[in-house]
A = this chain, B = another copy of it.
Amino acid sequence: MKVLVIGGCGFIGSHVVDSLLSRNHEVRVFDRQPERFRPALAGVDYLFGDFADRMAMIEALTGVDAVMHLVSTTFPGTADLDPRTDVIDNLGGTLSLLDIMTNLKIPKIVFLSSGGTVYGVPDTVPMPESHPLRPINSYGIVKCAIEHYLAMYQRTRGVASVSIRASNPYGPRQGHSGVQGVISTFLNRAFSGEKVEIWGDGSVIRDYLHVTDLADLCVLALSSDKTGPYNAGSGVGTSINEIVEVIGSVTGVPLEPVYKAARSVDVQRSVLDVSKAKVDLGWSCKVSLRDGISDSYEWLKNWKSRQG
């Protein structure tokens, strides 16, 4: 199958590309810029452009059998700063994509949604896919609207879709600037001997998923005839304070957290029920938190040493 990976040079995208190649799919990548942490891969067709550029998207989509849509111009922590731009870029851009896919009769899309934001404040933990969608921040509102439109395009325009509601992915090649993920950010601080900052008291519970497990689920979903939403998480809740401990233990560098005021975007406890992906897609999470953090730290040390 020839697959277009939109956002294929990003953190998650680069692992999805690896997973597709390992299963002998043909891969075209569309992204704004080359991968940051490794050179271009042999055998991958790279196209660079803007997600909002309709003609560039038409060119990228021509001749492909399926689409992995992994692009977001915003992060959960940044989208609230300018919701209108979040809507125009990400929701508007996705609707352009779906219109082009309809015209070109491309029958399948896997969309990277957000298990951490589409549900809002949970009624039950862990949350199944049937939990009501009550997003409380712009990132989640846009993901939720995109999921609704995917269902509509599937019903009325013949574009089958799976939404992967990812929890908190982490792993090699994640950015560590502070907006992408707490594990990569903290590992970077540990490496540099800096203090870490924690919003709140560190009791906030999240569901951390190694990026290779997430990438495998995306590829399984693309090849399956199943449609609709699938949670993607470990199914296990871990507090920020536990992350701090594991990182201290793995790196041998005990972190010294500085506790700051809690953020309004954070719900207290978010853990996903992933039994639907296990049953329907035969997927399971293979990398333990400790192994995954160790693996991420090895990558970080290598990267830093190559940077000199």
Contact = CB atoms under 8 A, between A and B. Distances in A.
B148 A135 contact: yes
Contact of A264 (B96, B138, B155): B155
A81 to B, nearest CB: 11
A181 interface: no
A88 interface: yes
Nearest to A157: B80
B141 A148 contact: yes
Contacts of A145: 87, 91, 141-142, 144-145
Interface in A219-233: none
Interface string A145-157: 1001101100110
Contacts of A99: 84
Copies of this chain in its oligomeric complex: 2
Contact of A132 (B80, B87, B133, B137): B133
Nearest to A131: B132
A267 interface: no
A95 interface: yes
Contact of A151 (B80, B136, B264): B136
Contacts of A135: 148
Given A141-B152, A144-B145, A152-B141, A87 B95 contact: yes
A136 B151 CA distance: 8
B80 A156 contact: yes
Contacts of A95: 83-84, 87
Given A83-B95, A84-B92, A99-B84, A144 B155 contact: no
Contacts of A151: 136
Interface in A100-150: 132-138, 141-142, 144-145, 148-149
Contacts of A148: 134-136, 141, 144
A92 B96 contact: no
Given A136-B151, A145-B144, A152-B141, A91 B80 contact: no
Given A84-B92, A88-B92, A136 B149 contact: no
A144 B84 CA distance: 15
Interface of A: 80, 83-84, 87-88, 91-92, 95-96, 99, 132-138, 141-142, 144-145, 148-149, 151-152, 155-156, 264
Given A80-B152, A134-B148, A138-B152, 6 more contacts: A87-B95, A91-B145, A92-B92, A133-B133, A136-B151, A141-B145
22 contacts: A80-B156, A83-B149, A83-B152, A84-B92, A84-B95, A84-B96, A87-B91, A87-B92, A88-B92, A91-B145, A92-B92, A133-B133, A135-B148, A136-B148, A137-B152, A138-B149, A138-B152, A141-B145, A141-B149, A144-B144, A144-B145, A155-B264
